[in-house]
């Protein structure tokens, strides 16, 4: 336990300043990263009080990651999920910090040569990628996390 | 050589195929719909992939989704199980076009054996007796009426593309035919995408007897004995057993040999089942072929000791028949009971919901194939099969006594099941004598059967 506490402390000391800086740069409401089995999440509205939790979400049992459960109570974060089973291709503006308009085409899933569209249910900024172009994805799999920003920003 | 199989099915058969793959040292990936995320096959599989929503049309029945899932998970073969895409020739063809081995007959074979009317003619040519019927599909109502008059009423009108007991109607007279022909055509069109109908003489008080066969790529065809599936409700099988009480030893051996020979010569390949009706004359008449593994295959496995799913996979991989007919020994008697989520006290109304308690039976020569566990939610979208109890005995009497004991051990809470119906059936004289026919449940009421069931301690 003592070791874990110490490790977490080190982790927070090294990460938090960097995350806070990135938060200001990108205008994101929240940034989350995984490091050494812990998740560090920094939110704009409660800067200075980072949330650390462990362990990291369980990886899938197989080659295709299971859909991650949405974080409860986190209304600003919207997972964008695959609409088909196949190989995913992300749209060019889908990278962390990229802006997405509601209803825009954010990815396609190749199903035997047919491109099945994935459209964004919400507008926002890409907060976290959960896959890369070319990855096999299952139906309903979380492709990336969108974070809504204040109205009028997009 | 098959290295990695996508199991494109659900429920108990997904689990059964998974077990066969593990036994053969083949990797397996279970394909599932969103409604089956918590199913036992998904939970125990090394790998699983969600292929679509609960609606089977967009998941288990979607050829692109299934094939895409196989490619996404690096599989080199697909096992379709039964139902869904298992006998779909264009699916088998598409799988092959993507370099995937379809575990079943090839697309070409499926196509040849697709039309029931044509298969009847084909197998008749190869020496199988068929029920008098129309010469293939009937073009219209007038042609149907002409054929019916020639064979004599009652007749049964069947969808050429139908199966699983669906798409058939008994026609008692010319008035019925006039009334029902176009309805049947529409029903067949809606259910199977093909409105073609053919008709056969309707034999009453028949036994439903079917022969399990397997054919390798060289045409070597073996039979694995017969199964009697006479206990049916609205053409849905409830109980299956082997051997059949309707065949004399003399008829049986000649019949089985003839079936294996005919099906091999007609060009069938892989595992299959030929269904027959045995009338009062004790002679089997061919009705249809099923080009897949069947629900009731364990009955044959218990009697022969042959793992049919493993054999099916090996034959699909291109292996030659690993045994001779003489090596297929049939011993004793086996019975299967299909425990379904249906309420026998209320017209077998389908049930769905959480399984609150679950206790499986066990004991010598008792097999229980089920995907249930306590806490499992039975989804309302698919068929109602919950478990198959298969029991073996040296004799039919011993198998029945053992079945009674095993059924009393079964506990499935949270939904109504057919368990008590089977306990009652095991006290019903016609079943005990082995004289039950396909019309049994038309003459004995479900309530009477349920009333005969011994009460299990609550």
Tell me how far the alpha carbon of residue A51 is from its chain's centroid: 16
Q: Residue B160: what pLDDT?
A: 87
SS3 label, residue B77? strand
pLDDT tens for residues B357-374?
999 999 999 999 999 999
Pair A25, A71 in one domain: no
Q: Cis ω on the peptide bond leading into residue B31 (within 30° of 0)?
A: no
Residues on chain B bordering chain A, Cβ-to-Cβ distance under 8 angstroms:
29, 34, 45-53, 59, 64-65, 67-69, 71-74, 94, 98
Other Cβ atoms closer than 10 A to B387: 24
pLDDT tens for residues B373-430?
999 999 999 999 999 999 999 999 999 999 999 999 999 999 999 999 999 999 999 9
Q: Residue B140: what pLDDT?
A: 94
Q: Which residues of A touch B56 (CB under 8 A)?
A: none
Which of A37-51, B67-81, B266-280, B375-389 has the weakest average pLDDT? A37-51
Which residue range forms the structural domain that includes residue A99? 60-154
Pair A21, A71 in one domain: no
Q: Which residues of A touch B45 (CB under 8 A)?
A: 61
Q: Which residues of B touch A64 (CB under 8 A)?
A: 47, 49, 72-73
pLDDT for B286 beyond 70 = yes
| Paired tokens of B70 | 């196989």
Please calculate the CA angle B233-B337-B378 and round it to the nearest 5 degrees. 85
Q: Residue A89: what pLDDT?
A: 98
Pair A66, A3 in one domain: no
Average pLDDT over residues B279-307: 95
Residue of A nearest to B94 (CA): A112
Pair A80, A153 in one domain: yes
Pair A85, A135 in one domain: yes
Return the half-sphere exposure (C-beta side, CA atoms, 13 A cut-off) of residue B104: 33
Contact between residue B17 and residue B1 where contact means Cβ atoms under 8 Å apart: no
Q: What percent of chain B has pLDDT over 90?
A: 89
Total number of domains in chain A: 2
What is residue B325's DSSP assignment? Answer: G
Asked if A112 and B68 come within 8 Å (Cβ–Cβ), the reply is yes
Other Cβ atoms closer than 10 A to B317: 17
3-state helix, strand, coil split of chain B in percent (to 5) is: 35, 25, 40
Average pLDDT over residues A93-113: 97
Which residue from A61, A112, A138 is facing B50, i.e. has the nearest CB?
A138
Pair A49, A111 in one domain: no
pLDDT for A36 beyond 90 = no
pLDDT for B65 beyond 70 = yes
Domain harbouring A145, CATH code: 2.40.50.100
Instruction: Place A8 in a pLDDT band, splitting at 50, 70 and 90.
Output: low
Which of A6-10, B5-9, B251-255, B335-339 has the weakest average pLDDT? A6-10
pLDDT for B456 beyond 70 = no
| Paired tokens of B387 | 């478990």
Q: Which residues of B touch A63 (CB under 8 A)?
A: 47, 73-74
| Paired tokens of B98 | 């993507």
Of A56, A74, A100, the residue that ends a domain is: A56
Residue of A nearest to B45 (CA): A61
Distance from CA of B160 to the nearest CA of A (A): 31
Pair A93, A51 in one domain: no
Number of CB pairs, chain A paired with chain B, less than 8 A apart: 64
Asked if B52 and A85 come within 8 Å (Cβ–Cβ), the reply is yes
Instruction: Place B258 in a pLDDT band, splitting at 50, 70 and 90.
Output: very high
Q: What percent of chain B has pLDDT over 70?
A: 99
Q: Residue A52: what pLDDT?
A: 40
Pair A91, A33 in one domain: no
Pair A143, A84 in one domain: yes
Instruction: Place A4 in a pLDDT band, splitting at 50, 70 and 90.
Output: low
Average pLDDT over residues B293-305: 98
pLDDT for A154 beyond 90 = no
Tell me how far the alpha carbon of residue B42 is from its chain's centroid: 23
Length of chain B: 458
Contact between residue B237 and residue B79 where contact means Cβ atoms under 8 Å apart: no
Pair A96, A145 in one domain: yes
Average pLDDT over residues B324-330: 98
A64 reaches B (C-beta below 8 A): yes
Length of chain A: 154
**Exposed/middle/buried for residue B369 (C-beta within 10 Å: 0-12, 13-18, 19+):** buried
Residue of A nearest to B54 (CA): A139
Q: What are the strands, taking DSSP E only, across B203-248?
A: 207-215, 221-228, 232-233, 236-237, 239-242
Output the average pLDDT for chain B.
95
Pair A75, A136 in one domain: yes
Q: Residue B352: what pLDDT?
A: 96
Q: In what order do the strands lie in the sheet with A30-35?
A: A30-35, A38-43, A51-53
Please calculate the CA angle B46-B50-B52 and round it to the nearest 5 degrees. 160
Asked if B73 and A87 come within 8 Å (Cβ–Cβ), the reply is no
Query: Which of B50, B67, B90 best probes binding to A when mutated, by most A CB atoms within 10 angstroms?
Result: B50
Q: Residue A24: what pLDDT?
A: 59
Per DSSP, the residues of A43-110 read: EGGGTT--EEE-SPPPPPSSSSPPPPPPPTT-TTEEEEE-SSSEEEEE-TT-STT-EE-TT-EEEEEE
pLDDT tens for residues A48-91?
333 443 333 333 444 444 444 444 446 789 999 999 999 999 99
SS3 label, residue A146? strand
pLDDT tens for residues B149-179?
999 999 999 998 887 667 789 999 999 999 9
Pair A80, A115 in one domain: yes
Domains of chain B, first to last:
4-103 (3.40.50.20), 132-201 (3.30.1490.20), 207-451 (3.30.470.20)
A113 reaches B (C-beta below 8 A): no
pLDDT tens for residues B107-129?
999 999 998 889 999 999 999 99
Q: Residue A67: what pLDDT?
A: 47
Q: Residue B168: what pLDDT?
A: 86
| Paired tokens of B258 | 């003839």
Asked if B72 and A87 come within 8 Å (Cβ–Cβ), the reply is yes
pLDDT for B6 beyond 70 = yes
Which residue from A64, A114, A140 is facing B64, i.e. has the nearest CB?
A114
Contact between residue A80 and residue A68 where contact means Cβ atoms under 8 Å apart: no
Residue of A nearest to B72 (CA): A136
Of A56, A77, A95, the residue that ends a domain is: A56
Query: Which of B29, B38, B49, B61 best probes binding to A when mutated, by most A CB atoms within 10 angstroms?
Result: B49
A63 reaches B (C-beta below 8 A): yes
Contact between residue A40 and residue A16 where contact means Cβ atoms under 8 Å apart: yes
Tell me how far the alpha carbon of residue B12 is from its chain's centroid: 13
Q: Residue B455: what pLDDT?
A: 77
* ipTM field: 0.86
pLDDT tens for residues B423-440?
999 999 999 999 999 999
């Amino acid at each position: 336990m003592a070791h874990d506490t110490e490790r977490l402390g080190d982790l927070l000391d090294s990460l938090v300043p960097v995350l806070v800086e990135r938060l200001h740069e990108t205008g994101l409401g929240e940034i989350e990263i995984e490091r050494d089995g812990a998740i560090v999440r920094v939110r704009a509205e409660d800067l200075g009080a980072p949330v650390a939790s462990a362990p990291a979400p369980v990886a899938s049992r197989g080659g295709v990651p299971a859909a991650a459960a949405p974080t409860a109570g986190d209304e600003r974060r919207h997972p964008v999920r695959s609409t088909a089973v196949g190989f995913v291709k992300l749209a060019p503006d889908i990278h962390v910090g990229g802006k997405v308009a509601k209803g825009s085409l954010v990815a396609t899933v190749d199903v035997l040569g047919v491109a099945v569209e994935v459209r964004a249910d919400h507008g926002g900024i890409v907060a976290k990628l959960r896959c890369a172009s070319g990855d096999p994805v299952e139906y309903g799999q979380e492709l990336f996390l969108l974070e809504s920003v204040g109205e009028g920003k997009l | 050589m098959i290295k990695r199989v996508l199991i494109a099915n659900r429920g108990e058969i997904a689990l059964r195929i998974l077990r066969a793959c593990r036994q053969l040292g083949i990797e397996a990936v279970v394909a599932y719909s969103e409604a089956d995320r918590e199913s036992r096959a998904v939970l125990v599989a090394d790998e699983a992939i969600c292929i679509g929503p609960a609606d089977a049309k967009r998941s288990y029945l979607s050829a692109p989704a299934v094939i895409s899932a196989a490619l996404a998970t690096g599989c080199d073969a697909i096992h379709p199980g039964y139902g869904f895409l298992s006998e779909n020739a264009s699916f088998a063809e598409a799988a092959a076009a993507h370099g995937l081995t379809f575990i079943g007959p090839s697309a070409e074979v499926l196509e040849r054996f697709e039309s029931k009317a044509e298969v009847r003619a084909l197998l008749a040519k190869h020496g199988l007796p068929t029920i008098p019927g129309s010469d293939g599909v009937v073009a219209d109502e007038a042609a149907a009426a002409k054929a019916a008059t020639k064979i004599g009423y009652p007749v049964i009108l069947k969808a050429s593309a139908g199966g699983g007991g669906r798409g058939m109607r008994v026609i008692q007279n010319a008035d019925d035919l006039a009334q029902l022909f176009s309805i049947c055509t529409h029903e067949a069109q809606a259910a199977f995408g093909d409105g073609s109908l053919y008709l056969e003489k309707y034999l009453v008080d028949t036994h439903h007897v079917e022969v399990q066969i397997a054919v390798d790529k060289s045409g070597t065809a073996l039979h694995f004995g017969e199964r009697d599936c006479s206990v049916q409700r609205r053409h849905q099988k409830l109980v299956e057993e082997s051997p059949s009480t309707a065949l004399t030893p003399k008829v049986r051996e000649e019949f089985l040999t003839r079936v294996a020979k005919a099906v091999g010569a007609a060009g069938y390949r892989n595992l299959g089942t030929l269904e027959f009706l045995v009338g009062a004359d004790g002679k089997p008449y061919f009705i249809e072929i099923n080009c897949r593994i069947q629900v009731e295959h364990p009955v044959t496995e218990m009697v022969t000791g042959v793992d049919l799913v493993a054999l099916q996979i090996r034959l699909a991989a291109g292996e030659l028949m690993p045994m001779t007919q003489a090596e297929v020994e049939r011993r004793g008697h086996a019975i299967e009971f299909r425990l379904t989520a249906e309420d026998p006290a209320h017209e077998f109304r389908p049930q769905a919901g959480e399984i609150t308690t679950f206790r499986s039976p066990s004991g010598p020569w008792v097999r229980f194939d089920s995907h249930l566990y306590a806490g499992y939610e039975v989804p309302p979208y698919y068929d109602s099969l919950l478990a198959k109890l298969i029991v073996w005995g040296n004799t039919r009497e011993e198998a029945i006594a053992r079945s009674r004991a095993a059924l009393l051990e079964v506990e499935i809470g949270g939904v109504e099941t057919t368990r008590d119906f089977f306990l009652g059936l095991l006290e019903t004289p016609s079943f005990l004598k082995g004289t039950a026919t396909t019309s049994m449940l038309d003459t004995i009421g479900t309530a009477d059967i349920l009333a005969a069931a011994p009460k299990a301690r609550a």
